[in-house]
Each structure stands twice: as C-alpha cells, then as structure tokens.
C-alpha cells in the first residue's frame, strides 16, 4: 500500500515479526502436524495465544469490550494488510483469525446489545475461542450467487418460529472454523415463497445448543491449520432474541461479504509472497548445470513473471479495498475482481515456485509444495472463479446480465 498510517505500519510490523519469529519456524519445524488426522492436535494453543498477545486476534471487536477497533475509514484496507502478513506465515492460521475478524464486524452491526455484552468478552478472554459463518450447504453454494433471486435457489436449511423460539433444521458444509468454533452465525430460509434475498434470516448459535451436531472435519488439500467443518441441525431451538436479521439477512451481511472478498485476495497475496521468497532464495543458492539457477535465463524469466503477477494482484487488491472502505459505487465489482484475479494469478505464482524447485518442489519436508496446495484452495473459497465472473458482470450491467431461465422441465 502506497501510504500507510502509523497504526497500519505498527500493526504490519508486529504481525510480520510474529510470523517470522513464531509461525514460520513452527510450520517448518513441524510440517508433519499438518497431516495429523486429529484436527484438534494440529495447531498448538501457543500460536493463537501469540496472535492474541500481538493484538491481531481480536481485530474488529469493539474497543469497549477489550478488542482492537480499527479506523472505520480504512478498516478493510487494514484487514487486508494483516491478512497478507498472516497468510505469508500460514494460510490456514490466517483464515482462523479472519473468521473472528469478519464475524465480529457482523455482530458489531447486527447483534443486540445484550448478546454483544455476552459474547465479545468471551471472544477476548479465550485465545482459543473461534467464530464461524455458516452459509454453504451440500446442495447450494456458489451457484446461489448467480443472478437468480427465486424461491428455487433458497436455503434448504429452514427456520420456523414456534412461540418464543426458532426451530432450525438443515445442514451446512465447507464451513471455515466449522469444526472447532464456539459460536456460529447460521443462515436459514424463513420464507420459502420469495427469493433468497427476501427470505433468508440469520441467527446467532452457541456451540452447545441442543440439536447442533458438528458432523465432521473436512480434510482439505491445503489451508489445513484451519479446521473446515460440516454441521447438522436437528430441531435445534434458538431463542427469538438470537435472531440477527429477519428475511433480509443476506443484504444486511454486506458488512461481511465485501471486506471478505478483499481479505480473501489478501490471503492469496500472502501465499504468493511466501512462494516468491522461498523461490528467490532457492534459485540464488542452488547450483544446477554448473551455475546457480538464477543465471539460467529460463529461471530468471519465471522469477520475473512471479514478481510481476504478485505486484498486479497487490495493486488491484489495494484499489478494491479502498473502494470498499469508501463505499464506492464500483466496490462490488472491484472486490470480486480482486478475489478472482488473486485466485488465478497466485496459483500461477505457486506453480512456478514448485517447478523452479525441481524434484525438491514435490517433497513434503522441503516446504514449497505447501504454498502450492494452499494456493490451489483459493479458486474454490468464498465463491468459485466462474461465479465471481458472473457477479462482476451482474454488478457492471445489472439491467442486462443473465436472467433466470426457470426450473428444469
């Protein structure tokens, strides 16, 4: 970012020091733990405690509750700076923290005062306490964000009001932090007669709520230090005051969605920066064909390509972040462009990285294959690349972009 405030510079440096001194040494020294099939055993508690100590775990939590509240006019840009630095250390750890940031902003805007007073102190007091945002379902994910706002596209998870409670039934999958979060924001259909934008509500659900089952941890290719989960709701009863937004939850979640795209792009960027760091070091120290690798023209050209792609992603991400903070008219298109562009370009950067490492690029204990695996996840996170393209066109040409063709005959 061309011009950082003093607060942003200090936060970036604190985060960078934490990553260099704690996160990267842990990742390199304990690479086998990523493959531990006991999800709770992968990341030691000291890592989240360290993030708490340097003040980056509770970003977005109101200061009155002990969190780190950012300047409103540059909040998304600051989130992007810190997300990049954290993902340079480990993308999964970054995503663990990102969910806390984003959901805290959502609760700050939507949760009634008594729920804020109950949960924000809990988030601050317990470094292991995680948050999760539950949208995706087995039969409906990115495709729901096509330009179709019809009942057929509605959430299959349903919530029905019964007396002083909401009864929720359904299933959510591919939920970041879903396996080990202590508090969930759950989206459900509350009016099946209208389109998704008019009939979806959101609820605050504690982990110990009867009827909520954490069914499994989804074992992913990359980002494995964030435990992705699948949830089942069976006659789960939620008090009526745990309703965050009735029927217009998706519209009101704009405070979550747009910054989320920027943070996603920034995490991609951090992975790309790490891939470049590892590769630049390797090609300047490893000898092949009688000379260090960087002196081979083919290698030098690839390294230049990696650096150029990284800077292009950074430029678009910074512009989109500034547009989101300014609530600019083109913010929706730009944040989706940044997410899309980062997903595809950083994967190319990571591909160069493993290929320039030769056979070592495929060795688990060498470390560079990890950035490739993490980069390969991003085209599927927070909206697939094709759906992102549809959303960009819809934002640019809302009157003429694709229309719903009706259910299959």
What pLDDT, on the 0 to 100 scale, is given for residue 208? 97
| In-domain check, residue 403 | no
Sign of dihedral through CA atoms 44, 220, 212, 239?
positive
Residues 241 and 186 in one domain: yes
Give the domain extent around 24.
6-127
Rounded Cα gap, residues 232 and 69, in angstroms: 33
SS3 for 173?
A: strand
pLDDT, averaged across the chain: 94
**So what's the pLDDT on residue 49?**
97
Last residue of a domain, one of 190, 219, 250: 250
Which pLDDT value is given to residue 87? 98
256 and 375 inside one domain: yes
Provide the pLDDT confidence category of residue 256 given band limits of 50, 70 and 90: confident
Q: Which residues contact 21 (CB under 8 A, 6 or more apart)?
A: none
What proportion of the chain, given as a percentage, has pLDDT over 70?
96
Give the CATH number for residue 284: 1.20.140.10
Query: Residue 147's pLDDT band (boundaries 50, 70, 90)?
Result: low
Nearest to 232 by CA among 205, 258, 254: 205
Domain count, the chain: 3
Which tokens go with 236? 């789960």
Tokens of 112: 């009634």
**Residue 117 placed within a domain:** yes
User: What backbone phi and psi angles, to 5 degrees, belong to 44?
Assistant: -70, 150
The C-alpha atoms of residue 168 and residue 185 are separated, in whole angstroms, by 13
Q: Per-residue pLDDT tens for 60-115?
A: 999 999 999 899 899 999 999 999 999 999 999 999 999 999 999 999 999 999 99
Could you report the per-residue pLDDT of 159-206, keeping only the tens digit for each?
999 999 999 999 999 999 999 999 999 999 999 999 888 999 999 999
Confidence of residue 278 (pLDDT cuts 50, 70, 90): very high
Q: Assess if residue 402 is contained within a domain.
A: no
Cα–Cα separations (whole angstroms), residue 15 to 3, 82, 86, 235: 18, 7, 7, 43
pLDDT in tens, 345-362: 999 999 999 999 999 999
Can you read off the two tokens belonging to residue 406? 């009706």
pLDDT at 401 over 80: no
Task: Verify that 214 and 97 share a domain, yes or no.
Answer: no
Of 78, 102, 127, the residue at which a domain comes to its end is 127
Quick check: is 63 in a domain? yes
Residue at 105 is within a domain = yes
Name the pLDDT band for 1 (thresholds 50, 70, 90).
low
Q: Bin 68: left if φ > 0, else alpha if -120 < ψ < 50, else beta.
A: beta
Show contacts of 364-370: CB within 8 Å, 24+ apart: 364/31, 365/31, 367/27, 367/28, 367/31, 367/278, 368/275, 368/278, 368/279, 368/282, 370/27, 370/31, 370/34, 370/222
What's the gap between Cα 98 and its chain centre? 6
Domain stops at, among 198, 216, 250: 250
Residues 168 and 289 in one domain: no
**Residue 216 predicted with pLDDT over 70:** yes
Give the tens place of pLDDT for each residue, 121-145.
999 999 999 999 999 999 877 766 6
- Tell me: do 205 and 293 sit in the same domain: no
Does 262 share its domain with 390? yes
pLDDT of residue 143: 67
């Amino acid at each position: 970012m061309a011009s950082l405030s003093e607060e942003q510079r200090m936060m970036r440096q604190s985060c960078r020091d934490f990553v260099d001194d704690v996160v990267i040494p842990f990742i390199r020294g304990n690479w086998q733990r990523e493959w531990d099939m006991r999800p709770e055993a992968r990341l030691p508690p000291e890592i989240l405690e360290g993030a708490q100590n340097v003040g980056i775990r509770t970003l977005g939590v109101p200061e009155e509750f002990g969190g780190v509240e950012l300047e409103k006019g540059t909040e998304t840009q600051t989130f992007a700076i810190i997300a990049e630095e954290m993902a340079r250390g480990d993308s999964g750890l970054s995503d663990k923290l990102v969910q806390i940031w984003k959901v805290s902003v959502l609760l700050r805007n939507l949760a009634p005062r008594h729920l804020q007073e109950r949960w924000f102190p809990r988030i601050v007091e317990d470094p292991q306490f995680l948050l999760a945002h539950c949208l995706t379902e087995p039969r409906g994910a990115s495709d729901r964000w096509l330009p179709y706002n019809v009942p057929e596209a509605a959430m299959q998870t349903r919530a029905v009001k019964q007396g002083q409670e909401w009864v929720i039934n359904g299933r959510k999958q591919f939920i970041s932090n879903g396996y080990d979060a202590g508090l969930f924001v759950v989206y459900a259909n509350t009016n099946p007669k209208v389109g998704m934008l008019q009939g979806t509500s959101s609820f605050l659900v504690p982990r110990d709520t009867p009827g909520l089952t954490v069914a499994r941890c989804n074992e992913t290719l990359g980002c494995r230090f964030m435990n992705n989960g699948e949830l089942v709701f069976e006659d789960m009863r939620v008090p009526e005051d745990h309703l965050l937004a009735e029927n217009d939850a998706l519209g009101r979640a704009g405070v979550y969605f747009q910054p989320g795209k920027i943070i996603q792009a920034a995490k991609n960027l951090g992975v790309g920066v790490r891939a470049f760091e590892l590769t630049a070091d390797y090609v300047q120290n490893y000898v092949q064909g009688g000379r260090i690798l960087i002196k081979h023209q083919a290698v030098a050209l690839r390294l230049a390509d990696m650096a150029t792609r990284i800077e292009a992603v950074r430029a678009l991400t910074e512009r989109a972040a500034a547009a989101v903070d300014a609530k600019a008219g083109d913010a929706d298109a730009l944040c989706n462009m940044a997410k899309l562009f980062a997903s595809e370009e950083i994967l190319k950067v990571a591909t160069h990285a493993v290929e320039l490492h030769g056979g070592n690029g495929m060795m688990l204990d060498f470390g560079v294959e990890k950035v490739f695996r993490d980069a390969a996840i991003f085209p599927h996170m927070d909206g697939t690349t094709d759906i992102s393209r549809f959303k960009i066109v819809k934002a640019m040409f809302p009157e003429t972009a694709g229309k719903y063709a009706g259910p299959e005959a």
